[in-house]
Amino acid sequence: MLVHISNWIIPLIILTVLLYGTYKRVPTYETFVEGGKEGVKMAVSLLPFLLGMIVSISIFRASGALDAFVNLIDPVLSIFNIPSEIVPLAITRPISGTASLSIATDLIKTEGPDSFIGQLASTMQGSTDTTLYVLTVYFGAVGIRKMGDALKVGLLADFVGIIASLVVCYLIFGS
Amino acid sequence: MVNIIWVALAAIGIIYAFFNGTIEEVNEVIFSSAQDAVALTISLVSVLVFWLGLMRIAEKAGLLEKLAHLFKPVFTRLFPEIPANHPAMGYILSNFSANLFGLGNAATPLGIKAMHEMKKLNNDSEVASRSMITFLALNTSSVTLVPTTIIAIRMQYDSMAPTEIVSSTIIATLISTVGAIMIDRYFYYRRQRSLI
């Protein structure tokens, strides 16, 4: 059921935007092209970040160190029914956007996008943002020196997000 | 922090390979994974161009403002210290709408403007105000309707249903956002109590 809704969300958004844009007399195609140029810039500027991080993570995996780490924590996590492969992603998600994106990519590639781990990694990566980045950018830009409880609140919210991804994925894709 | 993660992953990997006898695999993967990253970026171009192009239309047609208007009643309750018609509220709402559509690049400058206005409301203090912490909690749990980057990655690795994670992502993001708001409130009342 929910999987079917998923398939409808994107086409419906596209339809709404195109029809509403036409109704509001926006030069739709020209505007599309103009906005699309930004997409090219964005993807290209992402390349060095992704490449560096993916190479580093691939070395870590190919050496066998990742498997060793996963095997080490597996006995504890299997009690809670948590797949240990997901732990590196859960740890890096609040710290670095590119690192977690690279780890999610690595998981999707090695475990397969339609495997449970692949679906879980996709959900986890998409459902929260990088707390440390948001804090640095927003507080840094306006010169806030005392963050108060912001870091604690952000990290706790990330923890909730990670648990939520796990539970939701078990319920929807459950294996 | 990123620097440490980056170096640690590669360094531990190489040292571990030395003891584990997997140096050949490591050698191979250094170049093949770099190539993978380039292929991945190219597949990202397709989705990002399409989505950002479409969202530019939504922006010009005024859909973002419409959405902001829709959420206003909720946000005046979330930010009781900001007057409903203060510019800070406007920026917070447009930042939220931009995030909703996955327009991270458009959302950031709006968010910074919102922070500026909130700082003015807080007598230009260097201490984070209650509203600022709520705003950051909202932003770090990021409500997104369409996780475009992840969909592109799933397509790149031949997913049978690249978009099937949309509903799970939306539900998870809603839970984490509600969680963030509740945690934020908890810490706020705790601060209040300690003042007494």
Closest C-alpha among B7, B48, B156, B155 to residue A55: B7
Q: Is A7 a member of any domain?
A: yes
Shortest alpha-carbon distance between residue A76 and chain B (Å)? 23
Position A92 in a domain: yes
- Which whole-number Å values give the CA distances from B179 to A18, B95, B126, B182, in the listed order? 34, 20, 27, 5
Q: Are residues A72 and A16 in the same domain?
A: no
Q: For residues B1 and A47, is the Cβ–Cβ distance under 8 A?
A: no
- ∠ CA A157-A159-A160, rounded to 5°: 65
The token pair at B39 is 């292929």
DSSP symbols for chain B? -HHHHHHHHHHHHHHHHHHHT-HHHHHHHHHHHHHHHHHHHHHHHHHHHHHHHHHHHHHHTTHHHHHHHHHHHHHHHH-TTS-TTSHHHHHHHHHHHHHHTT-HHHHHHHHHHHHHHHHHHTTT-SBPPHHHHHHHHHHHH---S--HHHHHHHHHTT-S-TTTHHHHHHHHHHHHHHHHHHHHHHHHHHHHHHH-
Are the Cβ atoms of B146 and A169 closer than 8 angstroms?
A: no
pLDDT at A168: 94
Confidence of residue B131 (pLDDT cuts 50, 70, 90): very high
Q: Does A68 share its domain with A109?
A: yes
Indicate yes or no: CB of B154 within 8 angstroms of CB of A122.
yes
Give the dihedral of Cα atoms A37, A6, A166, B143; nearest 10 deg.
50
B148 — phi, psi (to 5°)?
-60, -45
User: pLDDT per residue over B150-196, tens digit each?
Assistant: 998 999 999 999 888 999 999 999 999 999 999 999 999 998 888 77
Q: Is residue A56 part of a domain?
A: no
Structural domain of A42:
1-46
Same domain flag for A27 and A71: no
Residue of A nearest to B159 (CA): A113
Residues A37 and A101 both lie in one domain: no
Q: Mutation test of the interface with chain B: which of A33, A108, A123, A137, choosing the one with the most B Cβ atoms within 10 A?
A: A123
pLDDT digits (tens, 9 = 90+) for B72-94: 999 999 999 999 888 899 899 98
Residues A75 and A40 in one domain: no
Residue A8 is predicted with a pLDDT of 82
- A55 part of a folded domain: no
In angstroms, the separation between the Cα of residue A58 and the nearest Cα of chain B is 6
- In angstroms, the CA A107 to CA A89 distance is 9
Residues A77 and A25 in one domain: no
Question: Domain check: are A89 and A169 in the same one?
Answer: yes
Is B116 in CB contact (< 8 Å) with chain A?
yes
In a shared domain, residues A91 and A10: no
> Does A86 fall in a domain?
yes
Q: To the nearest 10°, the Cα dihedral for B75, B77, B82, B87? A: 20
Average pLDDT of every residue of chain B: 89
Tell me what pLDDT residue A3 has: 62
Residue A23 resides in a domain: yes
% of chain B residues with pLDDT over 70: 98
Closest CA to B94 of B64, B129, B131, B123: B64
Contact predicate A24/B180, CB 8 Å: no
Q: How far apart are the first and last CA of chain A?
A: 16
Cα R_g (chain A), whole angstroms = 20
For residue B176, give the nearest of A138, A139, A157 by CB distance.
Answer: A157
Of chain B, the end-to-end C-alpha distance in Å amounts to 38
Whether residues A55 and B34 touch (CB distance < 8 A) is answered with: yes
Q: Which phi and psi (to 5°) does residue B102 adopt?
A: 75, 25
Distance of CA A91 to the CA centre of its chain: 12
Residue of chain A whose alpha carbon sits nearest to that of B146: A10
Q: Per-residue confidence at B13, pLDDT binned at 50, 70, 90? A: very high
- The ipTM is 0.85
Is the pLDDT at B23 greater than 70? The verdict is yes
Question: Is A69 found in the same domain as A39?
Answer: no
Using CB atoms, pick whichever of A21, A134, A152 lies closest to residue B61.
Answer: A21
Are residues A29 and A70 both part of a single domain?
no
Q: Given this model, what pLDDT does residue B66 score?
A: 85
Q: Is residue A130 part of a domain?
A: yes
Residues A122 and A37 grouped into a single domain = no
Query: Tens digit of pLDDT per residue, chain A (175 long)?
Result: 566 777 787 888 899 999 999 999 999 999 999 989 988 887 888 889 889 989 999 999 999 999 898 888 888 888 888 899 999 999 888 888 888 999 999 999 999 999 999 999 999 998 888 888 888 888 888 888 888 888 899 999 999 999 999 999 999 998 5
- Which member of B16, B56, B133 has the closest CB to residue A153? B133
- Residue A132 has a pLDDT of 84
Q: What is the pLDDT of residue A90?
A: 92
- Decide if A111 contacts A105 (C-beta within 8 A): no
Identify the pLDDT of residue A175.
59
CA dist., res. B182 & res. B174, Å (int): 12
Flag whether A58 is in a domain. Answer: no
Q: Are residues A80 and A35 in the same domain?
A: no
The C-alpha of A117 sits at a distance from chain B's nearest C-alpha, in angstroms, of 12
Least CB–CB distance from B56: residue in A31, A139, A152: A31
Looking at the structure of chain A, the number of domains it has is 2
